[in-house]
Chain A
Amino acid sequence: SAVISQKPSRDICQRGTSLTIQCQVDSQVTMMFWYRQQPGQSLTLIATANQGSEATYESGFVIDKFPISRPNLTFSTLTVSNMSPEDSSIYLCSVEGQRKTQYFGPGTRLLVL
């Protein structure tokens, strides 16, 4: 399975600011995904990021709030824009391996004050 790292691992931010989360994979992958895990909740898919094309967002998530970049096959970023306390969550990236198996990064724990 791929080794996935995320930066930062955690952050505390002020409302109204933006945070960019980085996801790095040790091998080339086609599909990368970004998830949100709100406190005490399960995972919700934010968007799917393919290299060379626009990200595909799930219902309830928009590009203006969660812009995503995918400049190459090993890297992606997710920006959480104009943050509010409701954005306090764990943000996880994942990659797709064989047979649609997804492997997850360690997550970024975000607290918005």
Chain B
Amino acid sequence: AQSVTQLGSHVSVSEGALVLLRCNYSSSVPPYLFWYVQYPNQGLQLLLKYTTGATLVKGINGFEAEFKKSETSFHLTKPSAHMSDAAEYFCAVTLSGSARQLTFGSGTQLTVLP
């Protein structure tokens, strides 16, 4: 079975500051890892994903995440926050084997202060 832990249900940053949203996973086999963003009154949009290959993955809107197997982490970063980044962010994991179930973290609400 797999699980995901997102540290910090609410994160506030100033506009232009670094964004760091934390995600740790638990998986008995190599995982596939995802970050999704949910803007108010909208569905989930895929930001980026790690499946195999390069451990540093770049996504949309200037976000990137690094898969660190030794730390079982997949933290999401963006060098400079923009007001439009304010949203709920979800980390998710699925197994690279036959199982298709996507397990979500509890989410992190990002607030960007002017």
Closest partner residue, chain B, to A106 (CB atom)? B43
Contact B43 A105 (CB under 8 A): yes
B63 within 8 A of partner (CB):
no
Q: Which of A13-21, A42-50, A64-72, A75-83 contacts its partner?
A: A42-50
Q: How many residues of A contact B (CB 8 A)?
A: 23
How many angstroms between the C-alpha atoms of A99 and B96 in the bound complex? Answer: 8
How many angstroms between the C-alpha atoms of A1 and B46 in the bound complex? Answer: 10
> 0/1 per residue, B38-72, Cβ < 8 Å to A?
00011111100101000000000000000000000
Q: How many residues of B contact A (CB 8 A)?
A: 21
A87 within 8 A of partner (CB):
no
Contact A104 B106 (CB under 8 A): no
Closest partner residue, chain A, to B90 (CB atom)? A42
How many angstroms between the C-alpha atoms of A105 and B36 in the bound complex? Answer: 13
How many angstroms between the C-alpha atoms of A94 and B102 in the bound complex? Answer: 11
For chain A, residues 39 to 61, give those with C-beta under 8 angstroms from any C-beta of chain B.
41-43, 45, 48
How many angstroms between the C-alpha atoms of A41 and B45 in the bound complex? Answer: 17
Prevailing SS type, chain A contact patch: strand
> 0/1 per residue, A1-21, Cβ < 8 Å to B?
100101000000000000000
Residues in chain B near residue A43, CB distance under 8 A: 44, 90, 104
Residues of B within 8 A of A (CB): 32, 34, 36, 41-46, 49, 51, 90, 94, 96, 100-102, 104-107
Closest partner residue, chain A, to B91 (CB atom)? A42
Contact A107 B42 (CB under 8 A): yes
Closest partner residue, chain A, to B9 (CB atom)? A40
How many angstroms between the C-alpha atoms of A97 and B100 in the bound complex? Answer: 11
How many angstroms between the C-alpha atoms of A31 and B96 in the bound complex? Answer: 16
Contact B34 A31 (CB under 8 A): no
Contact B42 A42 (CB under 8 A): no
Q: Among the listed B32, B41, B101, B104, which residue makes an inter-chain contact with A42, where contact means beta carbons less than 8 Å apart?
A: B104
The 10 tightest CB contacts between A and B, nearest first, are A104-B44, A106-B43, A107-B43, A99-B51, A104-B43, A42-B104, A43-B104, A42-B106, A42-B107, A100-B94
